[in-house]
Amino acid sequence: MKYLIEVVREDGGFVITFPDAPGCVTECDSADETVSVAREALEGWLETHLATGKVPPRPVSAIPAKAVGIDVAPELALKLELLWARREAGLTQSQLAKKIGVSQQRIAALEDPDTEVKLSTAELVLKALGRSLSLSSSPLAKSPKSKTAA
C-alpha cells in the first residue's frame, strides 16, 4: 500500500503533503530525508486515525513514474485493510465479532495501532468478510531522490 507524496521546496526546506491523506503535512530540511520524514508523518497520521476510531481514506492516487509513493508498514497496512473491509461490509465491530465468534474487544484490538495482529486471525476475519489474505514480496528498492517543485 502506497500513498503519493508531493514535495515542494519552500523557505530553504521542503514541505511534504499527501493528496490522499488530507491534513497530513510535514517538512524537512534536506531532500535526502524526505522519504523517511514523510513515512513517519504518514504512519503517525494513520495510527492517530485508528487510535481515535476514525477511518482514514484509502490511497487512490496513481503514483506517476517520476513521483514518490510512501509504503505503509505491513502491520499498519493490514490493520487498515481489516478496518476498510469491515466498514465496506457495513458491519460494526460487535456485528463482526458475533459473526466469527469472538468478543467486540478482540475486533477493536485488530484495529488498534498498538496491538499485534496474528495472520491467522486476520485471515479468519477477512474470510468472514468474503475476502482473502494475499501476501507478496519484492526486492528492496533504493531510496528514490525526491522530486521537488519550485
pLDDT given for residue 146 in this prediction: 44
Residue 75, phi then psi, degrees to nearest 5: -65, -40
Rg of the Cα atoms in the chain: 17
Looking at CATH, the fold of the domain delimited by 2-71 is given as Double Stranded RNA Binding Domain (3.30.160)
Beta bridge partners of 112: none
* pLDDT profile of the chain (150 residues), mean per 10: 92 93 95 94 96 92 84 93 95 95 93 91 92 80 50
pLDDT given for residue 145 in this prediction: 52
The pLDDT tens digits for 95-135 are 999 999 999 999 999 999 999 988 998 999 999 999 988 88
Task: Match domain 74-128 to its CATH number in 3.40.50.2300, 3.30.379.10, 1.20.1440.230, 1.10.260.40.
Answer: 1.10.260.40
pLDDT given for residue 148 in this prediction: 47
Domain extents in the chain: 2-71, 74-128
Neighbours of 98 (CB within 10 A): 14
